[in-house]
Amino acid sequence: MVINVIVVAVTLLMGGFVGVWLVCPRCRPWIEAPKWQPLAWDEPAAPSDHLAARRESER
Amino acid sequence: MATSQERRPPALRTIPALIRWHGYAALGCVLYVALLGLVMSIRLHSPDWLGGVSWLSWGRLRYAHTQGLFFGWLGNAFLAFLYFAVPRLASRPVTGVWLGWALFAVWNGLLVLPGWALVQSGVSQPLEWAEFPLPVDGAATLGMLMAVAQFVVPLLRARVSSLYVSAWYVLGGLTFTLLAYPVGNVVPEYLPGAQGATFSGLWIHDAVGLFVTPLALAIAYAVIPAVSRRPIYSHFLSMIGFWLLFLLYPLNGTHHYVFSSIPMEAQKGAVVASVYLGADVVLVVTNLLLSLRGRGGTVAADTPLRFVWVGVVAYLIVSLQGSAQSIMPVNRFVHFSDWVIGHSHLAMIGFGSFIALGGLFHAWRLTPGCRYYRGAAGWAFWLLTLGLTGMVLDLTAAGLVQGQLWQGDLPWLDSVRASAPFWWVRSVSGFVLLAGFLAVVAALTTGPVVAPAPAQVTTAAPGRQDDAEEEVAGFRWLKNAYVLTAGAGFGLFAFSFVVLGLWPNRTLEEQIARTQPTDRPARTASEERGRQVYSREGCMTCHSQLIRFTEDDVRRFGPASQAWESGGDAPQMWGTRRVGPDLAREGGRKSRDWQLAHLWNPRHVVPDSVMPGYPWLFEGSPTRPGRQALDVVNYLESLGRDAQLTGLSGPGPLPGRDPEEERRKGMFCDCAIPRTAGKAPVWDTTLAVGEDERFARRGAEIFARNCAGCHGPEGRGNGPAAVALTPVPRNLTTARFSNRRLSESLWNGVPGSSMPPWNDLTTGDLRGLVAYLGTLAPKEPPPELTGAERSTAQGLYAKQCAVCHGPDGAGNGPSASILAPAPTNFHEVRPTTAYAEAALAHGVRGSAMPRWGGKLMPDEQKLLARYVRSFSNKE
């Protein structure tokens, strides 16, 4: 019983993430956007627009 | 004129003084913690070093070591980093400077320092990773509450869509620890035995999983992109990793008590969650390491990043190791051994401390007013890496050796002897680690002062976040998603609480009610006080009180521990490490005198023991035990009493073992014999034709290791423990013992004396002892009596001696059955004339043999002495 509950919980959690990623492409930039945040820390000057940088890296 | 801090945008306004002060506190604590660890390690191979000082007792140092590492070192290091990182993560300052100083005062002034002072003065609770006593638990909870107010509130005011994964880990780590801490530290204080253990197990893992891991990963996720100037590989993967971690970590707790009486379904659930957790860690570490692809040069050149990198790799190794050792076939082998100690050092130093150091160094070199000496940081890295690698490899190997020895039937002490070389290496590694932490101190207190940050710092974080939200128009509700995420987070915590805490408890309640005897005697006040002393001295850090449902445990210690047996123990003292043997059934195994002599100085009765002595429980001498010593012995005597009363355990051979068969096997092989009490095999050395000398040499070694403490190095009954034992240990040079008598005494001990059973020695060792004791025996031949002498002696003997020693000297007189030690059987024991005369004249202290000096004439005593010696002629 306990094992089944754990397996189901892990499956639902993983499935939820992957499902949102697959079903809602518009969420993808939102999901990945914060990963640029640390690059702004302690920079002597603001980096270029992170979205532009992201598009560039995807290219 | 505006300072550089004031010129910085609010988002980056840190509080350098708080970073520095928490950093300094962390450095002071880690030096003390490393020093404690080194002292404890040295005392494992030099147990008398620093002995005799109560506040330096091994168990108390262990309490101070683990809690100091957790709160003093890692807690302060994490808090220092949070003052650096949270303003950046939340794009706004922390809640308040005043709150910061109050938190610093509570964390160090009410939690760490009083906690150390209390546990080292003997006020503690015997719960792993929860050793600080209840009043300090209150201060810890207050400190965590203040940390939530200081760091979580600013993060909650940020937009969800702009929360970087480090912020998620800070949110999760601080809030979940606040929930888990009382569950693991307070509940087991009131919930006894197996029921309390379910919650203790939760906290043991939550301490690592909900405090150390999230905050260390917050640092890793922050430092790696900040130093490498490249974003993390995938924020998506990092969020899967985050949520899986918070789902799975709390579900691991029960894997610390595999094969215990906790319901097996909960144990298996914890094992499954542990394996899943290993997979999650692979995902997290892959994401982190992929973020550094192509940046090997940066890792090599930047010391803080190098610390983080090693920490991440250690995280992968320790997590996979954790998954593996939770699986039952591995767990039964390595649990209770130094393998687990190596695992915990890899987790707390290799993972937690290395990443904390990376974060601290990184924050330090960017915080105005701090000193940072790069060269010393490099030295610190290499020393710590060297010390850690040596220690973990050494302890892992030691654990494998111990596990192998415990699976066999060799005496417990053999595993202690085998561990000695490993403990030396451990001490050397510990010294290198201490040197590494000294280099850390040098790196953070010397060198040039960090210059103020450039004035033109700007962050456009809010604007960029708006951009991101505009891209997903229609999902603006996500900025208020805290309700959803907080609900999910609390749900995960409640899930573990129910699945591994409440649910097993309900099953345990039913099981205990169904199986426990109805008329269990309660502990006496003295036994209860003894339990308190046992607890405060940390005895459970080396002696478990949990016989697991494994063949090896049952064969060595008896039937597995039932849930009801520890039903009166709140908090439970099952333990997770065995340096010494399990004590769940210790009652009745050793005499009270033996236990007292052992408490005074264990090496007096067990020459190779590494247990510390407890002389402060005595009034200056082993013959003058104080109340606390007597209480501890009473408590030890009570262990397993209920199991014996209900017939669960007790003397007698285990089913399926035939001592005679073992004896026959023993004649031709050197195999070990399972621990079976009862009828003894006879180690007849006359059968070992031509090998007497070889066995005697071996016996001499065994005698020196096991027997000399009481019987003295030459068997004259004058060992260091002899003064504390009544009756005094036998002078083995004053009588010739038959092989049967020696075998019987070695196998079952001598009731009424302090001689314990030695039936865990191997066949060869027992034969060797019998052969060696034969060489100690006097060569004096039995006397020849004339007819008249014999007739007179028979009359005297029948009148004065036969009531105890029996009509023909076989020790079976009418009174014999109520005497302990039993009267001498003169067919098996032939004393020297001098000893027999002395016994008659003065009696035998500690036995029922009275002095006959004033009752018999000297000639009569001499005649009787010769007469009793003549009995062995009839054999």
Residue B175 is part of a domain; what is its CATH number? 1.20.210.10
Residue at which a domain ends, from B720, B753, B776: B776
Task: Please say if the pLDDT value at position B602 is more than 60.
Answer: yes
Across the interface, do A30 and B161 touch by the CB < 8 Å criterion?
Answer: yes
Mean predicted confidence (pLDDT) in B411-438: 97
Q: What DSSP state is assigned to residue A40? A: G
Task: Please say if the pLDDT value at position B1 is more than 50.
Answer: no
Touching check for B467 and chain A: CB below 8 Å?
yes
Touching check for A25 and chain B: CB below 8 Å?
no
Cα distance from A27 to chain B (closest Cα, Å)?
A: 6
Determine the Cα–Cα distance for residues B435 and B381; give it in Å rounded to an integer: 11
pLDDT of res. B671:
47
Is residue B11 assigned to a domain?
A: no
B313 three-class SS: helix
| Residue the block writes with tokens 């403490």 | B709
pLDDT of res. B365:
93
Residues 6+ apart with CB under 8 A from B222: A38, B85, B88, B89, B164, B166, B359
Mean predicted confidence (pLDDT) in B90-97: 91
Across the interface, do A39 and B222 touch by the CB < 8 Å criterion?
Answer: no
B821 prior amide bond cis, ω within 30? yes
Cα distance from A36 to chain B (closest Cα, Å)?
A: 5
- End-to-end Cα distance, chain A: 48
pLDDT of res. B663:
52
Contacts of B788-795 with C-beta under 8 Å, sequence gap 24+, read B789/B863, B789/B866, B789/B867, B790/B867, B790/B870, B792/B863, B793/B863, B793/B864, B793/B866, B793/B867, B794/B867
pLDDT of res. B780:
80
* Same-domain check for residues B635 and B499: no
Touching check for B327 and chain A: CB below 8 Å?
no
- Chain B residue whose CA is closest to A43: B457
Mean predicted confidence (pLDDT) in B313-339: 96
Instruction: Assess contact for A20 and A27: CB atoms under 8 A.
Output: yes
Touching check for B69 and chain A: CB below 8 Å?
no
Touching check for B243 and chain A: CB below 8 Å?
yes
pLDDT of res. B871:
87
pLDDT of res. B460:
39
pLDDT of res. B481:
65
Which residue from A31, A37, A49 is facing B236, i.e. has the nearest CB?
Answer: A31
Across the interface, do A42 and B366 touch by the CB < 8 Å criterion?
Answer: yes
Task: Give chain B's length.
Answer: 875
pLDDT of res. B517:
85
pLDDT of res. B444:
97
Q: How far is CA B543 from CA B141, B200, B576, B646, in A?
A: 30, 17, 8, 24
Which residue from A2, A39, A46 is facing B231, i.e. has the nearest CB?
Answer: A39
Q: CATH code at B596?
A: 1.10.760.10
pLDDT of res. B454:
60
Determine the Cα–Cα distance for residues B130 and B143; give it in Å rounded to an integer: 15
Task: Please say if the pLDDT value at position B209 is more than 70.
Answer: yes
pLDDT of res. A32:
87
Looking at this protein, which amino acid is placed at residue B801? C
Task: Please say if the pLDDT value at position B343 is more than 50.
Answer: yes
List chain A residues with CB under 8 Å of B495. 9
How many helices, marked H, and strands, marked E, lie in chain B? 39, 2
Is residue B478 assigned to a domain?
A: no
Which residue from B164, B248, B276 is facing A34, i.e. has the nearest CB?
Answer: B164
> What secondary structure does DSSP assign to B528-571, as a single string?
HHHHHHHHHTTGGGT------SSHHHHHHH-SPPPGGGGTT-SS
Touching check for A11 and chain B: CB below 8 Å?
no
* Same-domain check for residues B721 and B767: yes
Mean predicted confidence (pLDDT) in B853-870: 90
Range of weakest confidence among B60-74, B332-346, B805-819: B805-819
Touching check for B366 and chain A: CB below 8 Å?
yes
Is residue B738 assigned to a domain?
A: yes
Nearest CA-CA partner of B386 in B330, B431, B323? B431
Determine the Cα–Cα distance for residues B773 and B683; give it in Å rounded to an integer: 12
pLDDT of res. B661:
54
Determine the Cα–Cα distance for residues B66 and B486; give it in Å rounded to an integer: 31
* Same-domain check for residues B27 and B147: yes
Touching check for A32 and chain B: CB below 8 Å?
yes
The ipTM assigned to this model is 0.81
Inter-chain CB pairs, A–B, below 8 Å: 131
pLDDT tier at B471, thresholds 50, 70, 90 = very low
Domains identified in chain B, total number:
4
In this structure, the dihedral spanned by the alpha carbons of residues B442, B443, B448 and B453, taken in order and rounded to 10 degrees, is -140
Let me know if B745 is exposed, middle or buried by CB neighbors in 10 A (0-12, 13-18, 19+).
buried
Q: Which of A35, A51, A54 to mutate to test the interface with B (most CBs of B within 10 A)?
A: A35
Higher-pLDDT residue of B695, B354: B354
Touching check for B294 and chain A: CB below 8 Å?
no
Mean predicted confidence (pLDDT) in B525-550: 96
Cα distance from B68 to chain A (closest Cα, Å)?
A: 32
Across the interface, do B266 and A2 touch by the CB < 8 Å criterion?
Answer: yes
Percent of chain B scored above 70 by pLDDT?
A: 90
Mean predicted confidence (pLDDT) in B118-134: 95
Determine the Cα–Cα distance for residues B294 and A4; give it in Å rounded to an integer: 41
Which residue from A14, A30, A50 is facing B464, i.e. has the nearest CB?
Answer: A50
> What secondary structure does DSSP assign to B696-725, as a single string?
HHHHHHHHHHHTHHHH-TTSSS--TTGGG-
pLDDT of res. B659:
54
Higher-pLDDT residue of B780, B726: B726
Q: What's the 3-state SS for B802-825?
A: HHHHCCCCCCCCCCHHHCCCCCCC
> What secondary structure does DSSP assign to B566-626, as a single string?
GTT-SS----SB-SS---TT-TTTS-HHHHHHHHH-HHHHSTT--PPP-GGGBSSSTTSB-
Nearest CA-CA partner of B734 in B823, B832, B829, B825? B832
List chain A residues with CB under 8 Å of B247. 9-10, 13
pLDDT of res. B872:
78
Task: Please say if the pLDDT value at position B696 is more than 50.
Answer: yes
Across the interface, do A29 and B265 touch by the CB < 8 Å criterion?
Answer: no
pLDDT of res. B482:
72
CA angle B38–B41–B47, rounded 5-degree value: 120
Cα distance from A26 to chain B (closest Cα, Å)?
A: 6
pLDDT tens per residue, range B54-87: 999 999 999 999 999 999 999 999 999 999 999 9
Cα distance from B163 to chain A (closest Cα, Å)?
A: 6
pLDDT of res. B679:
67
pLDDT tier at B458, thresholds 50, 70, 90 = very low
| Residue the block writes with tokens 């043997």 | B581
Touching check for B247 and chain A: CB below 8 Å?
yes
- Chain B residue whose CA is closest to A42: B457
Task: Please say if the pLDDT value at position A46 is more than 80.
Answer: no
Q: Which of A1, A2, A31 to mutate to test the interface with B (most CBs of B within 10 A)?
A: A2
pLDDT tens per residue, range B640-685: 988 888 877 665 434 444 555 555 544 444 444 445 556 677 777 6
Looking at this protein, which amino acid is placed at residue B197? A
Is residue B481 assigned to a domain?
A: no
pLDDT of res. B758:
87
Is residue B150 assigned to a domain?
A: yes
- Chain B residue whose CA is closest to A2: B269
Which residue from A1, A21, A35 is facing B232, i.e. has the nearest CB?
Answer: A35
β-pairing verdict for B735-737 and B829-831: antiparallel
* Same-domain check for residues B445 and B532: no
Across the interface, do B268 and A3 touch by the CB < 8 Å criterion?
Answer: yes
Range of weakest confidence among B448-462, B616-630, B661-675, B778-792: B661-675
Backbone angles phi, psi at A21, to 5 degrees: -60, -40
Touching check for A20 and chain B: CB below 8 Å?
no
pLDDT of res. B515:
87
* Same-domain check for residues B195 and B319: yes
Instruction: Assess contact for B673 and B654: CB atoms under 8 A.
Output: no
Q: CATH code at B707?
A: 1.10.760
Residues 6+ apart with CB under 8 A from A13: B240, B243, B244, B247
Mean predicted confidence (pLDDT) in B541-568: 91
Looking at this protein, which amino acid is placed at residue B59? G
pLDDT tier at B450, thresholds 50, 70, 90 = confident
Touching check for B245 and chain A: CB below 8 Å?
no
Residue at which a domain ends, from B750, B776, B802: B776
Cα distance from A23 to chain B (closest Cα, Å)?
A: 14
Measured in whole angstroms, the distance separating CA B50 from the mean position of its chain's CA atoms is 20
Touching check for B465 and chain A: CB below 8 Å?
yes
Across the interface, do B464 and A41 touch by the CB < 8 Å criterion?
Answer: no
* Same-domain check for residues B822 and B722: no
Mean predicted confidence (pLDDT) in B617-623: 93
pLDDT tier at B10, thresholds 50, 70, 90 = low
Residues 6+ apart with CB under 8 A from B492: B246, B247, B250
pLDDT of res. B309:
98
Q: Hey, which of B554-563, B573-582, B812-821 has the most confident mean pLDDT?
A: B573-582
Is residue B479 assigned to a domain?
A: no
Mean predicted confidence (pLDDT) in B447-476: 55
Task: Please say if the pLDDT value at position B30 is more than 60.
Answer: yes
Determine the Cα–Cα distance for residues B112 and B221; give it in Å rounded to an integer: 28
Is residue B475 assigned to a domain?
A: no
Looking at this protein, which amino acid is placed at residue B685? T
Backbone angles phi, psi at B237, to 5 degrees: -65, -35
Task: Please say if the pLDDT value at position B477 is more than 90.
Answer: no
Task: Please say if the pLDDT value at position B452 is more than 80.
Answer: no
Cα distance from B408 to chain A (closest Cα, Å)?
A: 33
pLDDT tier at B498, thresholds 50, 70, 90 = confident
Task: Please say if the pLDDT value at position A52 is more than 60.
Answer: no
pLDDT of res. B702:
93
List chain B residues with CB under 8 Å of A36. 231, 464
Touching check for B12 and chain A: CB below 8 Å?
yes
Mean predicted confidence (pLDDT) in B248-268: 92
Measured in whole angstroms, the distance separating CA B293 from the mean position of its chain's CA atoms is 41
Handedness of CA B793, B798, B802, B807 (dihedral sign): positive
Task: Please say if the pLDDT value at position A44 is more than 60.
Answer: no
Is residue B463 assigned to a domain?
A: no
Q: What DSSP state is assigned to residue B109? A: I
* Same-domain check for residues B133 and B65: yes
Cα distance from B249 to chain A (closest Cα, Å)?
A: 12
pLDDT of res. B464:
43
Cα distance from B86 to chain A (closest Cα, Å)?
A: 11
pLDDT of res. B662:
52
Which residue from A13, A21, A46 is facing B236, i.e. has the nearest CB?
Answer: A21
Across the interface, do B236 and A32 touch by the CB < 8 Å criterion?
Answer: yes
User: What b/e string do you get for B299-315 counting C-beta neighbours within 10 Å, with b at 16 or more?
Assistant: beebbbbbbbbbbbbbb
Mean predicted confidence (pLDDT) in B469-479: 54
Cα distance from A59 to chain B (closest Cα, Å)?
A: 15
Q: Both tokens of residue B772?
A: 């060696």
Cα distance from B221 to chain A (closest Cα, Å)?
A: 9
B449 three-class SS: strand
What mean pLDDT, rounded, does chain B reach?
A: 89
* Same-domain check for residues B498 and B560: no
pTM: 0.90
pLDDT of res. B650:
60
Determine the Cα–Cα distance for residues B288 and B283; give it in Å rounded to an integer: 9
Task: Please say if the pLDDT value at position B749 is more than 80.
Answer: yes
Percent of chain B scored above 90 by pLDDT?
A: 69
Q: What's the 3-state SS for B52-68?
A: CCHHHCHHHHHHHHHHH
Measured in whole angstroms, the distance separating CA B867 from the mean position of its chain's CA atoms is 56
Cα distance from A12 to chain B (closest Cα, Å)?
A: 11
Q: What DSSP state is assigned to residue B127? A: -
List chain B residues with CB under 8 Å of A13. 240, 243-244, 247
Touching check for B225 and chain A: CB below 8 Å?
yes
* Same-domain check for residues B40 and B150: yes
Touching check for A22 and chain B: CB below 8 Å?
no
Phi-psi region of B454 (alpha: psi -120 to 50; beta: other; left: phi over 0): beta
Task: Please say if the pLDDT value at position B700 is more than 60.
Answer: yes
* Same-domain check for residues B269 and B324: yes
Across the interface, do B251 and A14 touch by the CB < 8 Å criterion?
Answer: no
pLDDT of res. B695:
86
Nearest CA-CA partner of B314 in B304, B322, B325? B322
Range of the domain at B540: 525-645
* Same-domain check for residues B154 and B116: yes
* Same-domain check for residues B170 and B215: yes
Phi-psi region of B715 (alpha: psi -120 to 50; beta: other; left: phi over 0): left
- Chain B residue whose CA is closest to A10: B244
pLDDT of res. A51:
46
pLDDT tens per residue, range B210-251: 999 999 999 999 999 999 999 999 999 999 999 999 999 989
Nearest CA-CA partner of B260 in B499, B636, B584? B584
